[in-house]
Amino acid sequence: MLKLFFTFLITLIWISPPCSANTYVKSMYSLPLTFDPIKMNDVASLAAANLIYDGLLKFSPSLEIQEALAESWSTSTDGKTLTFKLRPDIKFHDGTPITADDVVYSLARAVTPESTVRKYYDCIQGVDEKNGTQDISKVGIRAKDFRTVEIKLKNPFPAFISILAGATAKILPMKYKDTKAFFDSPVGSGAFRFSSTDTANKKMTLEAFDSYYQGRSKLDKMVLVESSEVEAIKMARKNEVLDLVSWPLNPKDPVFQSGKKITSPVTATWIIGLNTKVAPFNSLEARKAFKKTLDNEGFRKKFYPDAYQAFGYIPPGLPGYIDGTYIKTVPTKSSRSKVVKQKITIVIPQELSDANEMKAFLEDNLKGNGWNVDVVPMAWDKLMEGYAKKKHQAFLVSMNMDYPDAEFLLRNFESNNPDNFSGLNNKKLDALIASSRNETDKVKRATLYKETIKLLDDSSVTINLFHPRSNYWISNCVNGFNPNVLSEVYIDYTKVSIDEACMKNGGKI
């Protein structure tokens, strides 16, 4: 009898569909590297944070700024004071009510010296732009009452609202401020609460938050699964994962035969970044020569033919975008005298399905022109570690816009920005960025951006490969999926549901 029972149980497990009916399994190139909003710099962490946490504001799919935890906000006539009114009856996952003090605490963390995102908040009064500010009492963020928060800026800066809608301005419970292991099991107020991490199987489980202010999500659970692109595609074919949003798929990838293809522009630029602190790229001449040699258009056509040619650093649809009439970059064979013999290592994410082909392409292209180049596929976390520590000579990454303003992309190249991956130190560029920040006239601002881009291009710290067009693979069983033009980070999974019948049918409609 017992034997029969176990046989039955095993059969039941065996015939169960890969995903239970209302559990959304999402494949990612990496699990979140951190749950601390002020230390996030990678898409996986930002995407997970957007599920677990909430901010005062949020982005709609078309980048309209909408209320989130704040039910309303207002700006003073001089543009320097922002006042936010919190919704009543909002709670953290542990049931604690969210108050203005929690908001002050969370935003104040963002301006501390250990914050890697403080550059976005240094417009707040009292914040030291170079080193950040530890003493919260000096910072222009305060709770006026239980539900009202006031933020004072040094100067009017309309783009700051985008920061508060972004992935780093998340509200944390102040009561855990002294809990060291808080981020091992974070408590937020987002649509999903952290449940568990299975390090061995590289899985993280989130559960729907019943008291979410917008109403409970249609999904009961989300499971984030770390894998390579090749593994992710295999799982997708078997309907074991429900989207491949993390992966920049080619539109002709065969995986689309077994699911839905949702194509959308996304504000990003794939680049090969050059580190001016590491030889030979500490030489402008070397960087220029290297940039001229690399066949970026060939790279685009081979690997991402539906992506847009990148003439500048800023993606299309943003002030500062440059089309082909402004800068013409034509790969030419450089004269041998300009080629540097020193070995150059370009690191690329090994999780890309075409990593080996990309390696071969780049090496062929550059070696064929006399460069001593080695392309190294590297695990993403290692790549990001080297990026943060500015150890890589050159690296292939997608620079995603965290906020819909070119300001935040260009700031990466400010001399005093800790996130300046290139190590570029150009005072003129710094001045241009500062001028554009203070310019209220949009046309003039766009002109300043273009001048900044031109200067950046002349500095040759990035080789702009292309602006991608995302081709998202979505399971046939998923309904309500809506991409976000800014980034996959902001995809709203609270609107997503799963067709149970389709799941039972193995992903077939």
3-class secondary structure, 270: strand
Q: To the nearest whole angstrom, how small is the minimum distance from the Cβ of residue 247 to another protein? A: 18
Distance CA 216, CA 93 (A): 12
Distance CA 162, CA 157 (A): 10
Comparison of 278 and 318: residue with beta carbon closer to another protein: 318
Q: To the nearest whole angstrom, how small is the minimum distance from the Cβ of residue 443 to another protein? A: 6
Comparison of 192 and 490: residue with beta carbon closer to another protein: 490
Distance CA 313, CA 453 (A): 7
Find the radius of gyration of the CA atoms of the chain: 24
**In this structure, what token pair is assigned to residue 189?**
């107020």
Q: Which residues pair with 151 in a beta bridge?
A: 82, 141
Q: To the nearest whole angstrom, how small is the minimum distance from the Cβ of residue 317 to another protein? A: 3
Q: To the nearest whole angstrom, how small is the minimum distance from the Cβ of residue 481 to another protein? A: 11
Q: To the nearest whole angstrom, how small is the minimum distance from the Cβ of residue 472 to another protein? A: 10
Q: To the nearest whole angstrom, how small is the minimum distance from the Cβ of residue 316 to another protein? A: 6
Residues making contact with another protein (CB under 8 A): 61-64, 262-265, 308, 316-321, 404-405, 442-443, 445-446, 469, 482-483, 485
Q: To the nearest whole angstrom, how small is the minimum distance from the Cβ of residue 69 to another protein? A: 21
Q: Which residues pair with 466 in a beta bridge?
A: 270, 309
Between the CA of residue 69 and those of 65, 100, 188, 294, 343, what are the distances in Å? 13, 11, 12, 47, 51
3-class secondary structure, 363: helix
Of 493, 476, 481, 404, the closest CA to residue 165 belongs to 404
Of 454, 456, 397, 452, the closest CA to residue 424 belongs to 456
Comparison of 389 and 442: residue with beta carbon closer to another protein: 442
Between the CA of residue 10 and those of 230, 238, 350, what are the distances in Å? 29, 20, 37
Between the CA of residue 500 and those of 219, 267, 479, 508, what are the distances in Å? 11, 34, 11, 11
Q: Exposed (0-12), middle (13-18) or buried (19+): which is 258, by Cβ within 10 Å? A: middle
Please report how many Cα atoms fall inside a 13 Å half-sphere around the Cα of residue 23, on the Cβ side: 17
Q: To the nearest whole angstrom, how small is the minimum distance from the Cβ of residue 471 to another protein? A: 11
Q: To the nearest whole angstrom, how small is the minimum distance from the Cβ of residue 202 to another protein? A: 31
- The 10 Å Cβ neighbour count of residue 273 is 23
Q: To the nearest whole angstrom, how small is the minimum distance from the Cβ of residue 232 to another protein? A: 22
Distance CA 70, CA 59 (A): 13
Give the 3-state DSSP-derived string for 316-329, with helices as H, strands as E and coil as C: CCCCCCCCCCCCCC
